Chains A and B, each alone.
Chain A
């Protein structure tokens, strides 16, 4: 029995041109819509950057960055130095509190708890905690610290920011620890190192760039937070490098001056905004560079 040779037929047209016009048209419209959406998101970013630069750049000067805040918001002149100092002190302290705790928590999740019920629960709750509004953190610290001590302080603000940073640090660090190859742990164990020694000298150093970049992103996020600081830190007009006593920060200064009807206050707010955006974006960009350059690789 023989198979008849296939009869020569005209080759099927499989190019796009063969599709019905409606289908091609719908595809084009949908793709165009996606591009338009991206443009739509880029427009506000460009507008904000443009406006902040336009209105803030004029007020930036050495005096603006180094002088005290005028007592009256309507008075022109003066600077924002106390707010810069406050932002550095409060955010720095918050980072010192949250990053070690967060890294240890992540070590528990990834090295000890793994997929046990407690670790799963903590993981979920850390995710939930990232969603807790920042103002609730401010109220929380106000209730447990400012009310009993009868004093607003930089430390209280730092604690509130640390509460915000903690879950972010835990989750980002855990993601990085997961990327550390198991071979490293096994090699260390085979050499006789105890579990904690392996973690401290092998696992964490292997992941240090990822941990740093995650922590930097958390710091950048925290530096821009206003709501937790409003009740906890109070207001000052002179630089306060200490953790005790009232303090202020750039976001709080912007918030206070933005709602004033005076041109001088608004100008100060724009100037502080440009300073804050530069600080935050610098931290973000550095974090990206670190994570891009020293990504954990299988070595």
Chain B
């Protein structure tokens, strides 16, 4: 075997016959160079495979560490809503119970609130940037979104716990007073916590945090819409909004779903901001103004003061979180990629 497929040049021997008698320079590869090339190639390959190795190691090591707790709790780990790390009555009949249902529920509720607020705003911003904004306005607008993405999550958390939560508590009171009496709907807007720290505050802070990621992905999706379709819509006399409805949105639907799912993955995994503003209580309730807890938040809040089984259970929560986010991400990337491929096919 000579060398990995290289661009034609140094390794390809001259084919045509030469007439002059001077000896031809040797263009063949020397052993040392081939070795260097191969080494570099393997070095790069190893670096690429580091990603795969890390992902596998994450799953294996955390699973192994949390195995005692998962075996102890069994399926109840996912279906039990009681999370009692310490027996409150001392060594009595009630033993420590670890059920993550309340945290899974909390994560889902908070992420759902975040998506409800963030998706329309993010899609509208992306439409504005790609279809409406003048080129001169686009730069500053993109900067605003990027800066929002650059602010560390702990700063959002700090702002949330010291400024937003106290400011929102009376607002929640007002909404509870106005809507709390309606049967059905009222259970969503129940008695708020006095500190304002709960699902709703966490969801709102998360919404601000995931707007930039959904916006940037949605922008990419919108730019793949074939220009011919858009011009055709205009040629038929559509207004800009009718063009967006008829040409842009139908083409981008799959990609948008992917973008939203990536936002969901980010929201589920966000730790610090949520940990600061969600309130930290173990319950499953429909009341959006109540305090609760989410998977990453409970890990970070309880890890410091935990016994062996408790700690193993917290790492088990990490495994659950890892599996959920990886599945969501894989599905989302698949959707985005499929949408992109279809768009390119249509444009060609």
Interface residues, chain A, CB within 8 Å of chain B?
19, 23-24, 26-27, 30-31, 33-38, 40-42, 44-45, 47-48, 51-52, 55, 101-105, 107-109, 111-113, 118-119, 121-122, 124-129, 131-137, 139-140, 143-144, 147, 163, 166-167, 170, 185-186, 189-190, 192-196, 199-200, 220-221, 223-227, 230-231, 251, 254-255, 258-259, 266, 269-270, 273, 276-277, 280-281, 284, 288
- Residue in A closest to B243 when the chains form the complex, CB atoms: A27
With contacts A127-B329, A129-B55, A227-B272 known, is A23 near B157, CB below 8 A?
A: no
A and B contact pairs by CB, cutoff 8 A, 28 listed: A23-B239, A27-B242, A31-B241, A38-B128, A41-B121, A48-B155, A104-B44, A105-B50, A108-B45, A112-B4, A128-B330, A128-B333, A131-B326, A132-B55, A132-B269, A132-B325, A133-B296, A135-B296, A143-B62, A143-B315, A196-B37, A196-B39, A200-B40, A230-B303, A255-B275, A258-B161, A280-B152, A284-B147
Asked whether, in the complex, the Cβ of A34 is within 8 Å of the Cβ of B322, the reply is no
Contact partner of B269 among A129, A131, A194, CB < 8 A?
A131
A131 B121 Cβ-Cβ under 8 A:
no
Q: Quick check: is B300 within 8 A (CB to CB) of the other chain?
A: yes
**B-chain residues with CB within 8 Å of residue A36 when the two chains form the complex:** 124
Contacts of A163 in B (CB 8 A): 54
Contact call B50/A101, Cβ cutoff below 8 A: yes
Chain A residues closer than 8 Å to B257, beta-carbon distance: none
Distance (Å) between the CB of A1 and the closest chain B CB?
32
Nearest residue, chain A, Cβ from B147: A45
With contacts A37-B124, A101-B50 taken as known, whether A132 is within 8 angstroms of B322 at the C-beta atoms is yes
Chain B proximity of A122: nearest CB distance (Å): 5
The B279-327 residues at the A interface (CB cut-off 8 A) are: 296, 299-300, 303-304, 315, 318, 321-322, 325-326
B47 / chain A contacts, CB cutoff of 8 Å: 101-105, 107-108
Q: Tell which of A112, A128, A185, A251 touches B44, judged by Cβ atoms closer than 8 Å.
A: A112
Which residues of B are found within 8 Å of A119, using beta-carbon distances?
48
CB-CB under 8 A for A140 and B62, given A23-B239, A258-B157: yes
Among A48, A122, A192, max chain B CB count under 10 A is at A48
Contact pick for B10, options A124, A135, A194, CB 8 Å = A194
A144 lies within 8 A of B57 (CB): yes
Q: Is the CB of A124 within 8 A of B315?
A: no
Nearest CB of A to B124, in Å: 4
A41 touches B296 (CB 8 A): no
B interface, size bucket? 35 or more
> Measuring CB to CB, which residues of chain B are less than 8 angstroms from any residue of chain A?
4, 6-10, 27, 29, 33, 36-37, 39-41, 43-52, 54-55, 57-58, 61-62, 64-65, 120-122, 124-125, 127-128, 132, 141, 144-148, 150-159, 161-163, 208, 211, 215, 239-242, 244, 262, 265-266, 268-272, 275-276, 296, 299-300, 303-304, 315, 318, 321-322, 325-326, 328-330, 332-333
A192 → chain B, closest Cβ, in Å?
4
Inter-chain CA distance A127–B157, complex, in Å, is 26
User: Within the complex, what minimum Cβ distance (angstroms) separates A52 from chain B?
Assistant: 7
Instruction: Tell me which residues across on chain B come within 8 A of A135, comparing CB atoms.
Output: 269, 271, 296, 299-300, 318, 321
Asked if A19 and B239 make an inter-chain contact with CB atoms under 8 angstroms apart, the answer reads: yes
CB distance from A94 to the nearest CB of B (A): 14
| Chain B neighbourhood of A186, CB < 8 A | 7, 9
Report chain B residues within 8 Å CB of A225: 152-153
- Chain A residues, Cβ within 8 Å of B155: 48, 52, 224, 254, 273, 276-277
Known interface pairs A42-B144, A140-B62, A189-B9. Does A128 touch B159 (Cβ–Cβ under 8 Å)? no
Does B240 contact A34, Cβ atoms closer than 8 Å?
no
Tell me the minimal C-beta distance from B144 to chain A in angstroms.
5
- Which of chain A's residues have a CB closer than 8 A to the CB of B242? 23, 26-27
Known contacts A131-B325, A277-B155; A108 and B48 CB within 8 A of each other: yes
How far apart are the CA atoms of A184 and B52 in the complex, in Å? 31
Whole-angstrom distance from the CB of B314 to the nearest CB of chain A? 8
With contacts A101-B47, A131-B328, A220-B150 known, what are 7 further pairs, Cβ within 8 A? A30-B244, A38-B128, A52-B155, A132-B322, A132-B325, A133-B321, A170-B48
Q: Are B146 and A37 in contact (CB under 8 A)?
A: no
Q: Do A41 and B125 have beta carbons less than 8 Å apart?
A: yes
Are A170 and B51 within 8 A (Cβ)?
Answer: yes
